């Protein structure tokens, strides 16, 4: 997919575009195990090239992995992430496919915005807690910033 291949949305910082990565490199960079990356491949989420039996990851593969992991952090299952990734790889030339893509994108956005409301609510609550506790500490003559 092209989405998120470039974090900022443009100017992919053409440097390193040609680099290839070993599985261990990516594992270190993203703080996952090689087992995890292979597992994602088994599940059809990444398809690195092979040099004989060894896996070679392109910059695109690397970006894709990053995207997968961000999806995970957001609480999506691998199946959902795969669906979203696939959304861009299937034929996008047909009118029906484009409508479908549009529809799914909108649904996904709704989903994300629901999560955002939950998230903002929790952040608000805990900031409240922080404020009140800090105030109480000060009132007792203690410095909230000292451990």
Residues contributing to the site for a copy of itself (CB under 8 A):
3-4, 7, 9, 70-71, 73-75, 95, 98-99, 101-103, 105-106, 108-109, 112-116, 118-130, 133-134, 136-137, 140, 142, 144, 147
Separation CA 15–CA 23 (nearest Å): 20
C-alpha span between 128 and 80 (Å, rounded): 34
CB of 39 to DNA, least distance (A): 5
Choose the binding region for DNA from 46-54, 90-98, 110-118, 121-129 (rule: CB under 7 A): 46-54
Cβ closer to a copy of itself: 44 or 144? 144
């Amino acid at each position: 997919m092209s989405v998120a291949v470039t974090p900022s949305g443009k100017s992919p910082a053409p440097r390193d575009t040609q680099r290839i990565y070993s599985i261990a490199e990516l594992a270190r960079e993203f703080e996952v195990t090689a087992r995890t990356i292979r597992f994602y491949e088994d599940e059809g989420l990444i398809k690195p090239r092979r040099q004989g039996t060894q896996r070679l990851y392109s910059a695109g593969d690397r970006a894709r992995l990053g995207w997968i992991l961000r999806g995970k952090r957001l609480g999506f299952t691998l199946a959902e992430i795969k669906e979203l990734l696939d959304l861009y790889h299937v034929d996008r030339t047909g009118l029906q496919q484009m409508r479908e893509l549009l529809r799914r994108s909108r649904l996904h956005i709704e989903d994300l915005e629901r999560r955002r409301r939950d998230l903002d609510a929790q952040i608000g609550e805990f900031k409240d807690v922080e404020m009140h506790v800090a105030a109480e500490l000060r009132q007792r003559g203690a410095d909230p910033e000292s451990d």
